[in-house]
């Protein structure tokens, strides 16, 4: 389902402001059809395997680590880090690379960012491939914090236990305070608990190795801190903005890939988006959860990218 491993033919650090430097890379065909990959989180980053989603004989694939994530610096930084900043960063990167229009591919939070970008700059988007749709609404954030525990009660119990009962009334704020505490002993412990909770709920079948990788400091701290930061500010988006503004992308073709048993981003959001978006085609993957790396999800995403080759050739 994946193309063979490959290395970038170009990469760099793009200065965004006085604080942030953003890592970017390009791989595949230098004069190919541009495609932008948006990772999840907020706070995750691009793994080398993400390059393998794109046919290197056709696509000029652009990947980058969002502010505070992955190889961008400073890692885990929440200052000057909002959705509006990220949308500006995408435009700055597009101009830096001299790209007129690109296919945009994103999953989970990456789908949120892809939709926000397409609605803000529809003239720059040739198509959308979205996976595990997250529309950033209050109910979706609240579901992440408490609803997922209905299906994964053991993980939810481990997530809740470190927070004293006295402050559980504002559970998100209690975690946010710990994740932004200057003492590493405090913020690293909270980050590992948060990352393990999310990773435990990401796949239909248990994946202990993924949970261990998620809890590593390099992965856990930016993921947990930035997710708590964005969730605390309701993704820096007005409620239901992405569905309300879908008229702006009605002419853009898209393929939506959704796991039927996605507990992190339940299918209702993908279904509602497809109902509101005339050219958004929904592929519901039976027997799959949230993770891109589940076989059914991975096959559907790579198939969507192959299908776009005929449209964009």
Q: Compute CA distances 66 → 128, 253, 298, whole Å.
A: 19, 25, 22
Give Cα 283 distance to the centre of its chain: 18
Q: For residues 148 and 143, give the distance between their C-alpha atoms in angstroms, rounded to a whole number.
A: 6
Contact between 37 and 60 (Cβ < 8 Å)? no
Of residues 229, 262, 269, 291, which has the active-site annotation?
262
Q: For residues 274 and 91, give the distance between their C-alpha atoms in angstroms, rounded to a whole number.
A: 26
Contact between 255 and 230 (Cβ < 8 Å)? no
Q: For residues 195 and 142, give the distance between their C-alpha atoms in angstroms, rounded to a whole number.
A: 17
Would residue 262 show up in a list of annotated catalytic residues for this protein? yes
Of residues 108, 111, 199, 291, which has the active-site annotation?
108
Of residues 20, 39, 229, 290, which has the active-site annotation?
290
Backbone angles phi, psi at 203, to 5 degrees: -125, 150
Q: Per-residue b/e over 276-298, b at no fewer than 16 CB within 10 Å?
A: bbeebebbbbeebbbbbebebbb
Q: Compute CA distances 96 → 16, 174, 251, 308, whole Å.
A: 11, 40, 27, 25
Would residue 121 show up in a list of annotated catalytic residues for this protein? no
Backbone angles phi, psi at 120, to 5 degrees: -80, -30
3-state DSSP percent of the chain in helix, strand and coil, to 5: 50, 15, 35
Peptide bond into 42 cis (omega under 30): yes
Would residue 199 show up in a list of annotated catalytic residues for this protein? no
User: Could you list the active site residues?
Assistant: 108, 262, 290
């Amino acid at each position: 389902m994946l193309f063979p491993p490959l290395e970038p033919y170009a990469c760099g650090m793009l200065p965004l402001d006085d604080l942030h430097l953003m890592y970017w890379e390009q791989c595949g065909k230098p004069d190919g059809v541009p495609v932008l990959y948006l990772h999840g989180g907020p706070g995750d980053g691009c793994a080398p395997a993400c390059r393998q989603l794109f046919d290197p004989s056709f696509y000029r694939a652009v990947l980058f680590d969002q502010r505070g994530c992955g190889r961008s610096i400073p890692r885990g930084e929440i200052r000057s880090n909002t959705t509006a900043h990220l949308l500006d960063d995408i435009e700055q990167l597009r101009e830096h690379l001299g790209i007129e229009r690109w296919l945009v591919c994103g999953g989970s939070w990456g789908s949120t960012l892809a939709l926000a970008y397409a609605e803000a700059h529809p003239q720059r988007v040739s198509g959308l491939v979205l996976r595990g749709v997250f529309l950033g609404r209050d109910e979706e954030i609240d579901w992440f914090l408490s609803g997922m525990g209905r299906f994964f009660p053991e993980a939810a119990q481990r997530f809740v236990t470190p927070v004293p009962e006295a402050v559980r009334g504002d559970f998100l704020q209690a975690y946010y305070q710990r994740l932004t505490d200057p003492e590493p002993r405090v913020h690293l412990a909270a980050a590992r608990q948060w990352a393990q909770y999310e990773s435990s709920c990401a796949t239909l079948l248990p994946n202990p190795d993924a949970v261990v990788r998620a809890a590593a400091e390099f992965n856990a701290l930016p993921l947990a801190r930035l997710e708590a930061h964005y969730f605390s500010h309701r993704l820096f988006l007005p409620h239901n903005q992405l569905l309300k503004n879908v008229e702006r992308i009605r002419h853009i073709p898209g393929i939506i890939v959704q796991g039927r048993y996605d507990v992190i981003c339940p299918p209702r959001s993908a279904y509602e988006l497809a109902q509101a978006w005339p050219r958004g085609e929904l592929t519901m993957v039976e027997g799959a959860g949230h993770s891109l790396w589940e076989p059914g999800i991975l096959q559907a995403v790579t198939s969507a990218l192959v299908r776009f080759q005929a449209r964009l050739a």
